[in-house]
Structure 1
Amino acid sequence: MDATLPTGWTLAASAFNWTPHIIEARRTSAEIVTGIAGDNVANVIELEPGLLWRTFPAPQNHEVDAFREELRAAGGRVSTVGCSLDDFTGTTQRRTTGQRLEFLVPQLDAAHRVGATGVRLPIGQAGPELLRLILPLLHDLDLVLFEEIQGHQTPLNPQIRPALDQIAALDDPKVRVLVDISMLMPGLPVTYLDELARGGVSPVLCSRLESEWKDPSTNQAVVAALRSGTVPGRIHTLFMNLLIRFGRSDAAELRDIMPLVGAFHLKFWDLEDADGRVSQPIEDLGRLLTRQGFTGTLTSEWGGHEWLRNDPSEMTRRHLALAEASLAAGSTREPAKAT
């Protein structure tokens, strides 16, 4: 699949894409995830263990081993395991650093046991004390901890910058950044805009979201709509994507943190690409990665199943083909010269 890409770039698929099928439970989670490789969608897979292993968050060896052998037989292997760090034991009781470590260690062990090369947490969630404690474990287990940034979490975000600075100060290849390209959205997904309109969002706001997404003042209009109570309750969760999951950055804004970046989520929502809103950010990324000498995994992650009922295998196949072509184009294309 990635024969035309530069050496060291590996395309993968996230098991998260199959969430609707896992919830339907017509087959076991393990059957669905191993089917990603067995059906030749992708042979490198990022796992979401909360969707996969019944014994999560302390996956038991027998369950991990059985899945590992089934995936291997299907011709697949694991790239990253998405870890969870529950910071509270109740509604108000926060876990101590020792308790947080106890919660995380079984997941690290399972990731190693299943043959993963990395684990993933949200940016900054581990914090300096826990990072100090797990760093020796990461080396012992030969795992990379990826701290993920996405959506509005740009490198210049003052809430994100301290965590990025901490990773830089550690200067250890076992702790890297994972960038979700939901940060790089020149326009909103066509199908998402349609869903907002059907859900009762004001035509005036829908028009603005379609034509002026990258204008910072559009965010103020989104907040104003929420505060005014004009967003129908049935689509509140969907509407909140505008404030959390969808970003307005450009690939060039990642340049300064690229030495810290070891992986990407090629997030997509639909495949409506007539104006390049899906492919252009990936091509821009390919150009940046080539100049920066990137090596790592680029994982197709579909978030649009929140409102679409399309087949995950078909969507992922098509997206991986589009991503490969876009990355290859970016890796071989010279940047435009200033006039």
Structure 2
Amino acid sequence: MTTELPPAWTLAASAFNWTPDVIRAERTAPDLAVGIVADGIAPIIELEPGQLWRSFPVSTDAEVDALRRDLDAAGGSVSIVGASLDDWLGPGRRRSEAERLGFLLPQLHAARRLGAGGVRLPIGQAGEALLRRLLPTLHELDLVLYEEIQGQQTPDSPATAAAIDMIAGIGDPRVRLLVDISMLMPELPPTYLEQLAAADLPEDLLTRLTEEWRDPATAGAVVELLRSGAVPPAIHTLYMNLLVRFGRSDAADLRGILPLIGAFHLKFWDLDDTGGRVTAPIRDLGALLAPSGFAGTLCSEWGGHEWLLEADAAYMTRRHLALARRALVDGATSA
């Protein structure tokens, strides 16, 4: 049985996985990023410039060039960088379209200087007018702008569907979707449920979350508890993952938008694969993509460092990449 991915599929690792290490600041963020390659974890990485350089969003050429040299020396390269679009200059002062363009352009030039193939924004944030103004620069710099869909966003939810239709209407391969498979969660991560249990949430809700995550009634119960004010303040941010970051879709729900997808985030939270919690969505994705002609990156992105604060990012990412590779191959060969 083959162990090789289809040649147009590229596994990558996100430097976002090392966020706790960036915060601890025992090593610099650029050094951590280069270490992903130098330590043999992955030769292709995604970067978050906002974590790399204090000068972001107008990164200096010297900073960018230094990282590019170090990555080149380690034999690595960059696939996509996370862009930022701050729409506000201050209270009540929204940036004009020209100012929004000016905010993004230095980030595009830095991405190209770094050797990246694309930049990433949340879906719908840029809007059609700005995307069309960016197109000449995207072509000039040989970059793709990816709009990311994740968590409880679905292809048929009104705002997301409108943004997808806009991308389709632009009809230019320099603007594409990036899908985060946090959309495709058959169950919640056990380590996350442990955090909720330790906070003394109602037992009936914990049972629903454990056994009936995809039941629409569970979503109602989550909202009801939040509105009641009974969510402990200490876990309020963590609890909001239930409403935003954790999805209930299936891989098949992506079928209608496959021609617009240029990259994936293989989001994982922990490595407990009981019942295929981690690998089943990736296997389903592999089976969906195999006959579609997909070409692009599939990037390991660890979200669980939000609560697994002491876990080792290198270990988690290595293990996840191995699981993801096997699951993708299994899915592709079953298609």
**SS of equivalent residue, structure 2 residue 243:** helix
Q: Does 1:331 align with 2:297?
A: no
* Deviation of the 1:145 alpha carbon: 0.3
The one-letter amino acid paired with 1:181 is I
Aligned to 1:286: 286
The one-letter amino acid paired with 1:235 is I
Q: Does 1:122 align with 2:122?
A: yes
Deviation by residue 1:27-51 (Cα, 9 ceiling, x = unmatched): 1111111000000011100000000
* Distance in 1, Cα, partners of 2:3 & 2:220: 44
- Structure 1 residue ranges (4+ consecutive) displaced by more than 2 angstroms after TM superposition: none
Q: Is 1:178–1:261's contact at 8 Å kept on the other side of the alignment?
A: yes
Q: Is 2:13–2:46's contact at 8 Å kept on the other side of the alignment?
A: yes
**SS of equivalent residue, structure 1 residue 148:** strand
TM-score between the two structures when normalised by the length of structure 1 = 0.97
* Deviation of the 1:168 alpha carbon: 0.6
Over aligned residues, Cα RMSD in angstroms?
0.9
Q: Is 1:117–1:143's contact at 8 Å kept on the other side of the alignment?
A: yes
Structure 2 counterparts to residues 99-114 of structure 1, below 5 A: 99-114=99-114
Aligned to 2:225: 225
Q: Does 1:164 align with 2:164?
A: yes
* Deviation of the 1:91 alpha carbon: 2.4
Q: Does 1:263 align with 2:263?
A: yes
Structure 2 counterparts to residues 1-339 of structure 1, below 5 A: 4-308=4-308, 309-334=310-335
* Distance in 2, Cα, partners of 1:82 & 1:95: 20
What is the aligned length? 333
* Distance in 2, Cα, partners of 1:274 & 1:153: 25
* Deviation of the 1:306 alpha carbon: 0.3
The one-letter amino acid paired with 1:58 is V
* Deviation of the 1:75 alpha carbon: 1.4
* Distance in 2, Cα, partners of 1:55 & 1:76: 23
The one-letter amino acid paired with 1:62 is A
Q: Is 1:44–1:79's contact at 8 Å kept on the other side of the alignment?
A: yes
**SS of equivalent residue, structure 1 residue 246:** coil
Unaligned runs of at least 5 residues, structure 1: 335-339
* Distance in 2, Cα, partners of 1:256 & 1:169: 15
Q: Is 1:200–1:231's contact at 8 Å kept on the other side of the alignment?
A: no
Q: Percent identity?
A: 62
Unaligned runs of at least 5 residues, structure 2: none
TM-score between the two structures when normalised by the length of structure 2 = 0.98
* Distance in 2, Cα, partners of 1:123 & 1:318: 29
* Distance in 2, Cα, partners of 1:129 & 1:207: 46
